[in-house]
């Protein structure tokens, strides 16, 4: 074997060795970075799970907070319950005979069953004639022995007959307090159906 051949074989052997080392280095690098990527993916998945758990905890705490606020509101709020009889009648008073107007008569009681004070307490009254015409839409105080009117013409007529005008100033109903209701609302036409709803605010 000539010297040139031996040199060529050594060169080939060295080249093969270098190629093997290079491939091994690349394989090791790939394996290393695959491991790093897998580890990071696992960390990201864990962090996503932790984030989801934290979001669930936040949602639960928010719900608990809302429930607590609702309980506090219930403990400090008024709640009005009514027991009322309502009827549409002509004027039957011998002393104050008013032939041209009908009146919606409301009698009974309203009780504050809540824990707080009912400010601006009253009854919101809406009534319609048989053909659907709105005849009454007003809020009156919780009162007894009073009359109200739906328009200026009725006011004028009643004042001419010395029939006083009752105040529409709303009042206060304390927790556990009951107000007796006995009132008339004079109006045009004849009403056929109505709703009477207690109203109030929890602050003055």
CA 134 to chain CA centroid, nearest Å? 29
Which pLDDT value is given to residue 98? Answer: 56
Of the candidates 178, 104, 186, the residue with the CA atom closest to the CA atom of residue 142 = 178
| C-alpha–C-alpha distance, residues 5 and 49, integer Å | 65
Which pLDDT value is given to residue 85? Answer: 97
Residue with tokens 């048989």: 130
> What does the pLDDT look like over 27-49, one tens digit per residue?
777 877 777 777 877 788 878 88
| C-alpha–C-alpha distance, residues 41 and 47, integer Å | 10
Global pTM reads: 0.63
What are the per-10-residue average pLDDT scores of the chain (204 residues)? 64 72 75 77 79 82 68 75 94 55 93 97 97 96 92 78 78 97 92 97 93
């Amino acid at each position: 074997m000539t010297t040139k051949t031996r040199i060529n074989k050594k060169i080939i052997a060295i080249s093969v060795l270098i190629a093997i080392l290079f491939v091994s280095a690349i394989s090791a690098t790939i394996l290393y970075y695959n491991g790093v990527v897998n580890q990071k993916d696992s960390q990201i998945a864990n962090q996503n799970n932790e984030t989801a758990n934290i979001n669930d905890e936040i949602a639960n705490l928010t719900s608990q907070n809302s429930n607590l606020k609702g309980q506090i509101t219930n403990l400090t709020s008024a709640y009005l319950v009514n027991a009322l009889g309502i009827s549409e009648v002509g004027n039957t008073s011998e002393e104050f005979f008013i032939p041209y107007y009908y009146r919606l008569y409301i009698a009974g009681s309203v009780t504050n069953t809540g824990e707080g004070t009912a400010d601006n307490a009253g009854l919101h009254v809406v009534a319609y004639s048989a053909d659907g015409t709105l005849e009454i839409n007003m809020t009156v105080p919780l009162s007894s022995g009073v009359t109200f009117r739906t328009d200026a013409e009725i006011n004028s007529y009643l004042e001419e007959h010395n029939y006083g005008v009752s105040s529409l100033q709303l009042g206060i109903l304390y927790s556990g307090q009951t107000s007796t209701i006995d009132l008339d609302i004079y109006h045009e036409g004849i009403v056929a159906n109505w709703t009477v709803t207690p109203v109030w605010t929890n602050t003055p």
